[in-house]
Structure 1
Amino acid sequence: MAKTPEQPKMKRRQQFVETFKMARKGDPKLVWWLLGAFVLGAAIGFGLFWILPGSGVIGLISSIVGAIMLGLLGALLLFSRRAQASAYAQIEGRPGAAASALTTLRRGWKTEPAVGFTKQQDVVHRVVGPPGIVLVGEGNPTRVKALLATERRRHERVAAEVPIHEVVVGNDEGQVPLPKLVKYVGKLKRQVAPADMTDLLSRLKAIDAARPAAPLPKGPVPTSMKGFRGQMRGR
């Protein structure tokens, strides 16, 4: 019984380690960047606390504590940014990358990967949240555009009164880059009340039950993006 409280902490610690390994794989200089951020933050912290009232041993101790705190804060903030960039760089261009990124959305969003797809692995993912229904396509732009139109018509049959948004992931004009996808979706205008979400999701089950399984390869993107959600989202 005494070990029960330790289990969640161990899980978070392991999650952080996995996130660090993933980030370091895509960013070999990560350790040096973190060390530099810690040293810079520690120097600023020491200087700030040193000029505060106090002298002797107490002043020295408070300055050291302040240096450590600001050093760790600086390193963690930098780790968050570089780990996020590394994670997106590793999955960008791979089948299912957008679906993996969308798992980092906050609570109140429901993501369903590959609600529509082609044999060439062009896919459309669905996100249901405060803005309504967001259809996110990735793959060949021409095929994805047609696929989005098909999915829009399919969803309008069961949720005609709900706003439907279309997003194409990519780096061309009119598309949303993968690293900016979550932020873009999260900023869409809120038009669906939380109380209506349950009914909407229930109606969408009708079209979900009729579609075949998506022919995506197993494990197309790093599964640690889910761990990345809790560690890096800035809650």
Structure 2
Amino acid sequence: MAKAQDKASKEAKAAAKAARKAASKERRQQIWQAFQMQRKDDKALIPLMAGIIVVVTAIFVVLALFAHIGPWWLWGPLGLILGVLISFIVFGRRVQKTVYRKADGQPGAAGWALSNIKGQWRVQQAVVGTSHLDAVHRVIGKPGVILVGEGQASRVKPLLAQEKKKAARVVGDTPIYELIVGNGEGEIPLSKLERHIRKLPGNIDRKRMDALEGRLSALKAKGSGGAAMPKGPMPQGAKMRSAARTVRRR
């Protein structure tokens, strides 16, 4: 019996190790794909990354030689490692910028951006929408309830008003924020949506968030609802978006 359990334990550990190796390999492949796609769109990427590595390494070597902080052969490799790290961070940010640029204006882009927000945010995509692919997404977080509309402003504003009225019946005195994603006056650019939401003041705690999520989940969107809305931007650049998420997690 003990031998059988020991064998099962070893097999489980081996399977877990194999799964970790496979996941690591997949992440490396995604990062490589992101690099290949980014360098085609961003001609300055490779010179910029190489320049960062060279400059940072040179700074460390110069400091070692003239400031006498230690042997250059020790500080040189440290500078190289730091340079690679900084260049990788720059690469990740440029990939993210490219992803947002390609997603901007596509139906479902705001919902996709919201679904990628890290932290304790409860996102419900396309709680109400139209056949023109306008939609309102709902986010529950410490600020309260955040309604995010995307699409033609003239069609989105009535949707926001409708959803706000509906939500107000069950959220009590919890603040309800209304945002429209776009590049027009008074609208929030897609690339700044997450930053804008994170800057909203905290008004409720996690327990209140749980209660609100339960109440709002019971509401059923009228009309076409979320059925007409894609869960994320249209297929263009899908590989880049997947790779961008991997780069952000590294």
Superposition TM-score, scaled by structure 2 size: 0.80
Q: What is the distance in 1 between the residues matched to 2:242 and 2:136?
A: 20
Q: What is the distance in 1 between the residues matched to 2:20 and 2:76?
A: 31
User: Given residue 37 of structure 1, which amino acid in structure 2 is its aligned partner?
Assistant: I
Q: Which has the larger radius of gyration?
A: 2
Q: Is the 8 A contact 1:104 1:226 kept in 2?
A: no
Q: Which is further off, 16-25 or 168-177?
A: 16-25
Q: 1:120 aligns with which of 132, 135, 138?
A: 132
Where 2:171 maps in the other structure, the secondary structure is coil
Residues 177-222 of structure 1: CA deviation (Å, up to 9, x unaligned): 1111100001101111012222211111111477744213576155
Q: 1:84 aligns with which of 89, 93, 96?
A: 96
- Does 2:69 align with 1:53? yes
- Name 1:97's counterpart in structure 2: 109
Q: Which is further off, 45-54 or 126-135?
A: 45-54
- Does 2:227 align with 1:214? yes
Q: Is the 8 A contact 1:103 1:229 kept in 2?
A: no
User: Given residue 77 of structure 1, which amino acid in structure 2 is its aligned partner?
Assistant: I
Q: Which is further off, 86-95 or 164-173?
A: 164-173
Q: 2:54 aligns with which of 17, 31, 39?
A: 39
Q: Structure 1's 196 and 63: CA in aligned 2 closer, same or farther, altered over 3 A?
A: same
User: Given residue 189 of structure 1, which amino acid in structure 2 is its aligned partner?
Assistant: P
Residues 6-48 of structure 1: CA deviation (Å, up to 9, x unaligned): 2443343244334434534542442232222222222223323
- Does 2:174 align with 1:162? yes
Q: What is the distance in 2 between the residues matched to 1:80 and 1:69?
A: 17
Q: Is the 8 A contact 1:133 1:163 kept in 2?
A: yes
Q: Structure 1's 201 and 136: CA in aligned 2 closer, same or farther, altered over 3 A?
A: same
Residues 113-157 of structure 1: CA deviation (Å, up to 9, x unaligned): 111111111111111111111111111111111111011112122
Q: Structure 1's 209 and 124: CA in aligned 2 closer, same or farther, altered over 3 A?
A: closer
- Name 1:10's counterpart in structure 2: 25
Provide the alpha-carbon RMSD of the alignment.
Answer: 2.5
- Note the C-alpha offset of 1:4: 4.5
1:171-210 aligned at under 5 Å gives the runs 171-208=183-220
Residues 46-98 of structure 1: CA deviation (Å, up to 9, x unaligned): 323443433xxxx1321321221221122122113211211111100100111
Q: Structure 1's 230 and 4: CA in aligned 2 closer, same or farther, altered over 3 A?
A: closer
Q: How many residue pairs were aligned?
A: 230
Structure 1: 5+ residue stretches without partners: none
Superposition TM-score, scaled by structure 1 size: 0.85
- Note the C-alpha offset of 1:227: 5.4
Aligned-residue sequence identity (percent) comes to 36
Q: What is the distance in 2 between the residues matched to 1:147 and 1:209?
A: 11
Q: What is the distance in 2 between the residues matched to 1:163 and 1:230?
A: 34
